[in-house]
Amino acid sequence: MLIEAVQGDITTQDVDVVVNAANSSLLGGGGVDGAIHAAAGPELLRACRELRRTVLPDGLPVGDAVATPGFGLPARWVVHTVGPNLHAGQSDPVLLESCFARPLELAVELGASSIAFPAVSAGIYGWPVAEVARIAVGTVRMWRDGVQQDAEPGRTRPQGIELVRFVLFSPDALDAFQRELARA
């Protein structure tokens, strides 16, 4: 599996899955969430409203993930995940790890081979980008290597993901992720 970091616009990535740093309402917001909703078009909001009406009436919990079609995006799917909000006291790194592990699991279930992540929780949710980079890269590497905290004995990691791309908006975020990727 290739793991890389690039600076760019996550909405233009030619991958199977784009991960959305969503809020629990799934009804759009600012930052990455707003950009993905704008680029995907109104069908994404309708799909998210349907999820809220049917399977997620209380919203998507922090650390969990759910998939929708990509609609107007180059990506076939959007996997929405809710990062922990440090300003709201959500400081457990396990919640942030889950924001990278759960989308990988869903991507495999969808039959995807490539996935693009933003720096979940590094924006308005207040997590330092260097910490997000450490947790994100570490989680993807553990997942790649079949090391999962909650895995049943003898359970192996599902196969299929060939590319994990971290798509970062700022040069500082890119630097933080590149530093983590350079570590052995």
Active site residues: 33
d(CA 79, CA 102): 9
Q: Are 65 and 106 in contact (CB under 8 A)?
A: yes
Give the whole-angstrom CA distance, residue 27 versus residue 84. Answer: 17
DSSP symbols for 64-83? -EEEEE-TTSSSSEEEEEE-
Degrees, nearest 5: CA angle 143-169-181 = 35
From CA 129, how far away is CA 72, in angstroms rounded?
29
- Four-residue CA torsion sign, 3, 39, 58, 67: negative
Question: 182: buried, middle or exposed (CB in 10 Å: 19+, 13-18, 0-12)?
Answer: exposed
